[in-house]
Amino acid sequence: MKIEIIKKQQSGLAKIDFNNLQFGDTFSDHMITMDYHDQCWKTPTIKPYGAFELFPGNCYLHYGQAVFEGLKAFKTPNGKINIFRPDAHYQRLNNSSQRLCIPKMDYDTFIKPLTQLLQIDSAWIPDKKGCSLYIRPVIFATDNFIGVKISDTYTYFVITSPVGAYYKGGLMPTRLTTSGEHVRTIKGILGEAKTPANYAASLLPQEIAKKNGFSQVLWLDGIEKQYIDEVGTANVFFLIGDELITPPLDGSILAGITRDSIITLAKDWGITVCERRISIDEVFESAKQNTLKEIFSTGTAVVISPVGEIEHNGKSIVINNNEIGHLSQRLYDEITAIQYGEKEDRFGWCLTI
Ligand SMILES: *Cc1c(COP(=O)(O)O)cnc(C)c1O
């Protein structure tokens, strides 16, 4: 496969303070770009991180036809690079593309330029435990046309960003609130696709939650406003009694790859995992009965984020004394050990380069 490479003259690496990385404000030297027209993906280019030129008539800007992914690369103790579950992220990118009428790409087109980019920018992958290189692939429509239709042309790009531990003080429990007024999605809309519109829908309710002192919104289903969908932009798990419960992939939630990794690990450890609908009333009732042990949300950026408190309709519950639970910590330790190549990758999750 042909990949065009244009190297940056002078690396920006020297200006970066690797001990004070924020999430998402620093970009590595290079990016991948690749165009789609005349019904096929063209030669990918690796070139210096830089701006795009867009026409004001760019149809993505008007109608939002785009999809994205978020995955991570890690430095292992012997200096290799682990990409965590790239095949699963590739598959989900194509699933999202299908929902947004965006052309698919084959696995080689996804993985070959990506591994090359990581090799070129390998010095940008932090080697400190807790730090990693966040990888953001995006596809957006580029027709210069403002009638509503499926675009004939697209741009795919991948940028990468060195990131520190999501939470500086360790795994801090979060405070969640349900939203009385807003919903994130309803089965049949875009909830199961990783697409910008879902994030646009979440901004106002998230802002209201923040103003009221909460860190995230606990999303309830859009129809009955009873069943739990997700937390912010992450999936959610409940340890009630000895059962680990998570909402099913029924069309309104995103099929998180961290979610899948956690289900796989928990089952492997002999824990009963139930993918089933769970209502906010059941969660509050289990807190009352003292059977609610842990709640945590999951996503690539945070891995696992324990939930310390939930408010719903003026009532609130505190979970596990507002401390991280045993299972949350054990899952976090196991997943990160596999990602950093410290533990045997017994599920074949990492692509090592
Ligand atoms: C990306 C995302 C997740 C988490 O998925 P991971 O593959 O675990 O990173 C969960 N919910 C939403 C809405 C997302 O966009």
What are the tens digits of pLDDT across the range 118-172?
999 999 999 988 899 999 999 999 999 999 999 999 999 999 999 987 766 668 8
Q: What letter represents residue 351's amino acid?
A: L
Quote the domain boundaries for residue 292. Answer: 174-338
Question: What is the position in ligand 1's atom list of the atom closest to the CA of 69?
Answer: 1
Distance 299 CA to ligand 1 centre (A): 5
By DSSP bridging, strand 174-178 and strand 216-220 are: parallel
User: How close is the Cα of 9 to the center of ligand 1, in Å?
Assistant: 35
210 CA → ligand 1 middle, Å = 20
Classify 251 in phi/psi space as left (phi over 0), alpha (psi -120 to 50) or beta: left
**pLDDT band at residue 22 under the 50/70/90 scheme:** confident
Residue 347 belongs to a domain = no
**Where would I find the H helices in 123-248?**
196-211
Residue 200 is assigned to a structural domain of this protein = yes
The residue contributing the CA closest to ligand 1 atom 10 is: 234
Q: Within 13 Å of residue 167, how many CA atoms lie on the same side as its CB?
A: 14
pLDDT of residue 210: 96
Same domain, 159 and 255: no
Assign residue 304 the CATH number of its domain: 3.20.10.10
Last residue of a domain, one of 164, 190, 210: 164
Total number of residues shown for the chain: 353
Q: Is the pLDDT of residue 42 over 70?
A: yes
Cα–Cα distance for residue pair 98/192, rounded to 1 Å: 11
**Any atom of ligand 1 within 6 Å of the Cβ of 217:** no
Q: What is the four-CA torsion angle of 86, 300, 29, 194, rounded to 10 degrees?
A: 80
pLDDT, position 196: 98
Same domain, yes or no, for 56 and 181?
Answer: no
Same domain membership, residue 154 and residue 14: yes
Pairing of strands 154-163, 132-141: antiparallel
Kindly state the helix (H) or strand (E) to which residue 34 belongs, with its residue range: strand 30-37
Whether residues 119 and 246 fall in one domain:
no
CB 299 near ligand 1, within 6 Å: yes
Q: Which 8-state DSSP code applies to residue 123?
A: G
Residues 284 and 330 in one domain: yes
Q: Is the CB of 258 under 6 A from ligand 1?
A: yes
Domain co-membership, 102 together with 198: no
Instruction: Please tell me the residue having the least CA distance from ligand 1 atom 12.
Output: 233
113, 146, 164 — which closes off a domain? 164
Task: Report the domain count for the chain.
Answer: 2
- pLDDT (0 to 100) of residue 40: 97
Task: Give the largest CA-CA distance in the chain.
Answer: 63
pLDDT, one tens digit per residue, over 226-257 is 999 999 999 999 999 999 999 999 999 999 99
The answer as to whether 169 is a domain residue is no
Write the residue with the smallest CA distance to atom 13 of ligand 1.
233
